[in-house]
Each structure stands twice: as structure tokens, then as C-alpha cells.
């Protein structure tokens, strides 16, 4: 990778300063309370972090993908939940409208999403359709100038507060299952659309992930994103970019754990000297740093390919696969360096350890990433 530009370094430094001042102080409390940090949203919007990839004509910052990825990494270094709030809103809800929306849809939705007036979410996963996205059972039946939605979604990041949803539903039962899917833009206040109770999770506890229920939800035909039958294509393209964001989240979680471990190794004294003087601790820190930098380069490579207009799906899969595993490994070593203290909520590495695991699961499990990489190798 080429060195970061002056603009990208400015993004990194300004988001890090913001994260240290505004995000990190809330991280432990919102984790304990299982609540999203909605009080941070106006501040994220003011800094332009909710519309980074959106062109200026729609009220966004118009930055490149790599700058956005750097911002996600810096937010995750302080709080994994805040990072995934921004990532899901941007990569999974805003980007599909930017990439596949009509001029009318872009004009209507992008300014509100870019400025944080409205937050977005992506609704694909169902009780019977997770990794097997083609098994989506939620239906959208055309009736005149409307579609009628019926079904349920689960594990929807941002579902508890989002006002704009990209919903993948079945419009046809003919042919291969994945060919009958379509994508729709659905507003939260549409009659028949209800949001259930949020999940209580192992990690990223403050992230809102409730089920969504659709009972005869009528939406205008103009809410169709792309064409009928494009849903699977739109979902997979959306997840490609989202995976780079999750890789960045994993890098940020690991970086935060490393920095906490370095600080602890300098101040924790055993056998008359700081534990950082022990070779066993030094080697763990060296391995952690090396793993993180490898993951960062894989992630930046995927973002750079997207910026250059080249295929990046395989690179994104590699980055997410490696970084998810890396974050779990690095945060585990951070716990080890902290010893018994690391197993308590008094130290941030305990939360980092729990938060890291989800990066191996959502937006495509490790096994899915391996399938994508292998398929490309054998093509």
C-alpha cells in the first residue's frame, strides 16, 4: 500500500481525537447498560462521519473508501459498538441507495442519511436465512402501485433506532431461490411494521439488534431498489463493501487492546520490575503488533481496490477472515498480559475480548469468507 495522503492522515488524527474525547468515555457504561450511544449521533453527524461516502451534492463529505475505513478503525479502537453503528448505517443502508437507487430515491434519502437526520439499517437475515441468504422467506407481493410485505427479520443492526431500512424480500418463487429476491426501501413508521425486543449479546452489547416484523406492510412501488430480482445481487454487493468495514472494526478493536496492554505492561510490577521487561510479555506484544499491521494492510488493500474501481470482493473476504481471527487472537493475548485483572470489567480488554468475536460471524462467517476466497482461486 502507498503511504496515506495528507487528507487520510487528517481523517485518522481527527477521528482518533474525537473518539478519545467523546466515544471512549461512554464505552464501558453503554456496554453494561446494553444501550446504543444515541447521544453521540449528533456529534458523529457534525464531524461528517455519517455521510463520508456520500457525494457533497447530497450533503455528504465525498471522501474515498479508505478514509471511511480509517474512520471506522479509529472509532472501533475506542468503542466497537459506535464503530458498527456508523458502519451499518453507511455501508449497509446508505451505500445501496447510492449505488442502486434512482435519481429520485437518491434525492429523497441520501441527504437525510448523510447528515444523520435519519439513520439506516439493512434487513437480510431471518430465523431460517442467515448464511443461506437465498432462503429468505419474507415476501413482497405486487398489488397495483404497491407491494405488500409479510415476514420477519432478525439480528438487524440498528433496528431499534433506524428510520430507513433496506429490506430484502421474495417477489418470485420461480427459478433458483436467490433469483426471486428484491430489495426495498422501507420507512420505520409504515403501518404494519413493528420492531421487537432487542437481543442481549455476549459482545457489542450496546448495539441494537432487534427482530423486525412485517404484517401486510404496504409500500409504494417506487420503494423498489433496482429491479425485481436484483435483491440477491444488491445484498451481495452491499456485503462485499460491508466486510471491509468489519475488517476495519476488527483492526480497531485489536489496536485498542494492544495499546491498553502496552500501558499495563509498563506500570504493572512483578518480581521487582515492570512486566514489560519480561521476554514472555515482549514477545506477545510483538506478535500482537505484527498481526494488527498485517490485518490493517489487508483491509486498506481492499478499500484501495474499491476506490480504484477494481474488483475487491475477494480482497474484502480475505481481510475480514484474517482480521476477525486476528482480533480474537490479539484480545486473548491482551487478557493474558493483564492476568486476573484482564478478566474483570475494570479493564477495557475484557470488553474488547467479547466484542472481537462477532467480527468472525456477522456480514458473513469465517466459513463464508473461505468459500468466497476458494471459489475465486478455483474459478
Annotated catalytic residues are: 363
Separation CA 299–CA 247 (nearest Å): 6
Separation CA 340–CA 255 (nearest Å): 21
Separation CA 251–CA 290 (nearest Å): 12
Separation CA 292–CA 46 (nearest Å): 30
All three cell numbers of 373, joined, read 476466497
The distance of Cα 364 from the centroid of its chain, to the nearest Å, equals 11
All three cell numbers of 70, joined, read 480509517
Q: If you search the block for the grid coordinates 492476568, which residue do you land on?
A: 339
Separation CA 10–CA 90 (nearest Å): 20
Calculated CA dihedral for residues 35, 38, 41, 44, nearest 10 degrees: -30
CA-closest candidate to residue 80, choices 250, 226, 195: 250
Q: If you search the block for the grid coordinates 423498489, which residue do you land on?
A: 224
Name residues whose C-beta falls within 8 Å of residue 154's C-beta, 6 or more positions apart in sequence.
Answer: 125, 126, 127, 211, 212
Separation CA 74–CA 319 (nearest Å): 17
Separation CA 136–CA 124 (nearest Å): 8
Provide DSSP, 95-109: HHHHHH--HHHHHHH
Q: Which bin fits 310, alpha (ψ -120 to 50), beta or left (φ > 0)? A: beta
Separation CA 146–CA 4 (nearest Å): 48
Contact between 128 and 137 under an 8 Å Cβ cutoff? The reply is yes
Strands 164-170, 120-123: pairing is parallel
All three cell numbers of 86, joined, read 456508523
Amino acid at each position: 500500500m502507498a503511504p496515506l495522503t495528507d487528507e487520510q492522515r487528517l481523517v485518522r488524527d481527527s477521528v482518533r481525537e474525537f473518539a478519545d474525547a467523546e466515544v471512549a468515555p461512554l464505552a464501558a457504561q453503554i456496554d453494561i447498560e446494553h444501550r446504543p450511544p444515541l447521544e453521540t449521533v449528533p456529534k458523529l453527524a457534525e464531524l461528517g462521519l455519517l455521510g463520508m461516502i456520500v457525494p457533497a451534492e447530497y450533503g455528504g463529505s465525498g471522501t474515498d473508501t479508505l478514509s471511511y475505513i480509517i474512520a471506522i478503525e479509529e472509532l472501533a479502537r475506542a468503542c466497537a459498538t459506535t464503530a458498527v453503528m456508523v458502519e451499518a448505517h453507511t455501508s449497509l443502508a446508505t451505500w445501496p441507495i447510492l449505488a442502486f437507487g434512482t435519481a429520485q430515491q437518491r434525492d429523497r434519502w441520501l441527504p437525510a442519511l448523510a447528515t444523520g437526520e435519519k439513520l439506516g439499517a439493512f434487513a437480510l437475515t431471518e430465523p431460517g436465512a442467515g448464511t443461506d441468504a437465498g432462503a429468505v422467506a419474507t415476501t413482497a407481493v405486487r398489488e397495483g402501485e404497491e407491494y405488500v410485505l409479510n415476514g420477519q427479520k432478525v439480528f438487524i443492526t440498528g433496528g431499534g433506532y433506524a428510520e430507513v431500512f433496506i429490506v430484502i424480500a421474495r417477489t418470485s418463487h420461480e427459478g433458483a431461490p436467490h433469483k426471486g429476491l428484491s430489495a426495498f426501501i422501507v420507512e420505520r413508521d409504515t403501518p404494519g411494521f413493528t420492531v421487537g425486543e432487542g437481543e442481549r449479546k455476549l459482545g457489542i452489547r450496546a448495539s441494537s439488534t432487534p427482530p423486525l416484523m412485517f404484517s401486510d406492510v404496504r409500500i409504494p412501488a417506487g420503494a423498489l431498489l433496482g429491479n425485481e430480482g436484483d435483491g440477491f445481487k444488491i445484498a451481495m454487493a452491499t456485503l462485499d463493501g460491508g466486510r471491509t468495514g468489519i475488517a476495519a472494526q476488527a483492526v480497531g478493536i485489536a489496536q485498542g487492546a494492544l495499546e491498553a496492554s502496552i500501558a499495563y505492561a509498563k506500570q504493572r510490577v512483578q518480581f521487582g520490575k515492570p512486566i514489560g521487561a519480561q521476554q514472555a510479555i515482549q514477545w506477545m506484544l510483538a506478535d500482537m503488533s505484527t498481526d494488527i499491521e498485517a490485518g490493517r494492510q489487508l483491509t486498506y488493500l481492499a478499500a484501495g481496490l474499491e476506490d480504484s474501481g477494481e474488483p475487491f470482493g475477494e480482497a474484502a473476504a480475505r481481510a475480514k477472515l484474517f482480521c476477525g481471527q486476528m482480533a480474537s487472537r490479539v484480545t486473548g493475548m491482551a487478557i493474558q498480559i493483564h492476568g486476573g485483572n484482564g478478566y474483570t470489567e475494570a479493564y477495557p480488554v475484557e470488553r474488547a475480548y467479547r466484542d472481537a468475536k462477532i467480527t468472525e460471524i456477522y456480514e458473513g462467517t469465517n466459513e463464508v469468507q473461505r468459500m468466497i476466497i476458494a471459489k475465486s482461486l478455483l474459478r
